[in-house]
Amino acid sequence: MAILQISRIQHRRGTSDNLPQLSAAELGWSVDNRKLYIGNGTLAEGAPAIGNTEILTEFSDLLNTSQSYTYKGEAVGYTHTTGTSVSSPIERTLQRKFDDFVNVRDFGAVGDGTTDDTAAINRALFQLYCREVNEEVRRTLYVPAGIYKITGDVIKIPTYAKIIGEGADSTIFKQTDSGEDYVFKLADSLQQTDASIATNAAVRPQFIEVSGCTFYNSTTKQVGLLSSAQHVHFDDVKFQGNLTLPTTVTDAMANIHIESTAVLITEHITFDNCYFTNNTFGIEIDYNCRNIVVQNSYFDELFKGAKIGESLTGSAPQDEGPRGFKITGSYFDRIANIAIHTYSAVKHVVSAYNYFHEVGNTYNGAGNQTAPVIYYVDAGNYSIGDQFERNDTDDLSQPRINVDNISNYAMVADNSVQYGAHRQEAGLAVTLSDNQSTTSTGITLSDSKYTHGAIIDYSIVRGTTYRTGTLRIGHGTSVGYSDDFSEDSATGVTLTVTFASNTSTINYATTSTGSSATMKYSIRYLY
């Protein structure tokens, strides 16, 4: 460019409120706020506007230099209309835009595994959800990947909180203080916990969402306490204790402990895609509560998976235990004792479509079973479509499902339907060959399983003849049986029962007609 004038550089200084119009290229220094300005010059000299222009320094307010934000998107050839028209877009300040989503590190949390982050996390939770009752101030709290050390206190998750991490084993809250029993507790709208919940006109813990993180207690204590809460959702959350393959209840700790008061019943709690590991119990409930749902989750390295109602007292809030407790689509692996255990007075617990691997054998594999997989002590509970790795031999000494001979309903996917002590096995079929003397059908009833006998419902089809009958068998030191049947015409089939080595064998004989017969049957017995 052409040099119009060479002159000595001059500048002015003073406080910001006394800064005058600077001459062209003249510098002005505001000593109070440490900002630097340069004069624009005149319009005749080519300046676009008369005034002073701030020169950016470390003390400049960058947000004020670019105040507004308008969504534009990245689509080529398309203009986004954010307002009433293209010419009147919605503009928001950058400050408001940045405040839409809050990072816990904005409140001082570090996440390096060494710094004590307890106060910073609780401060963030209080400021976002407890400081004001106005819904407009609530924001999602984002917790970046890292290990957030907790000591001297617990994380107090208040009413309306929404916490999002970067995934289990990425965002980790680690309790390191052996003097604290938990990593976190649900809190009310004033961040009060335990017996103080809902006092001082506070709103009970409710409408809380937590996702994408791990709560880890490194001190062999419990992990999370849910007390007097409702409408709480955990998604992709790992609850981890500090026990390796626990085999006793010496340290009766739970990853999740659920409590209620007589007035504030804990209800509508969901665990979705969660992980319960390295503790005595995955979930422990000894209080009245309603609609606790665990789905698509994983239980591993626990003494018991879910222990429900062992310490009920008979009076509120511990007289009934949970109602509507459901575990579905989940995986139980390396559970030393019982995967799902309900006690006296507990009803309406449902286990459905879960898979049970290495359960009830103290981590010692097949042939070492010491406990049932599922154990319902009182009536009114269900097992539907559950799948078990436990084989038939191990089931004889410790059943897959112990319904305690009362009115609990169980449907074992590959075995039988069970209601109380009554079992109904699946329908099967055998072929009865033509022109046979006494021959085994292959159906046997061992006394170790079919104690003292069973009832076999059957049908026989041979050519165009049909039979429907019931074969009743009683055995002990010998066998007695009866065959009660009806047929449209003679099928030429005779059924008999022999007994040897504590086992009844069902045999058949057939006349010579040129046709074999098909026998379909189902066995029912009292377990």
Q: What is the pLDDT of residues 486-518, one digit of tens each?
A: 999 999 999 999 999 999 999 999 999 999 999
Question: Which pLDDT does position 464 carry in this prediction?
Answer: 96
Question: Which pLDDT does position 527 carry in this prediction?
Answer: 76
At residue 79, does pLDDT exceed 80?
no
At residue 1, does pLDDT exceed 60?
no
Least confident of 267-281, 374-388, 500-514: 374-388
Task: List pLDDT tens digits, range 396-405.
Answer: 889 999 887 7
Query: Contact 142/105 with Cβ under 8 angstroms?
Result: no
Helices (H) and strands (E) in the chain, counts: 4, 42
**Cα–Cα distance between 308 and 499 in angstroms, integer?**
44
* CATH top class, domain 427-526: mainly beta
Rounded mean pLDDT, 317-338: 96
Question: Which pLDDT does position 316 carry in this prediction?
Answer: 93
Residue ranges in 47-93 assigned as alpha helix (H): 62-65
Rounded mean pLDDT, 412-422: 76
Rounded mean pLDDT, 36-42: 89
Q: What is the mean pLDDT of the chain?
A: 91
For the chain, the structural domain boundaries read: 11-68, 243-426, 427-526
- Name the pLDDT band for 413 (thresholds 50, 70, 90): low
Output phi, psi for 113, to 5 deg: 80, -5
Question: Which pLDDT does position 63 carry in this prediction?
Answer: 63
Question: Which pLDDT does position 8 carry in this prediction?
Answer: 59
3-state secondary structure 210-234: EEEEEEEECCCCCCEEEECCEEEEE
Least confident of 68-77, 133-142, 476-485: 68-77
For residue 226, what are the contacts with CB-CB under 8 A and spacing of at least 6?
Answer: 186, 205, 232, 256, 257, 258, 259, 266, 269
Task: List pLDDT tens digits, range 463-491.
Answer: 999 999 999 999 988 999 999 999 999 99
Question: Which pLDDT does position 481 carry in this prediction?
Answer: 96
Instruction: Using DSSP bridges, classify how beta strands 439-446 and 503-510 pair: parallel, antiparallel or unpaired.
Output: antiparallel
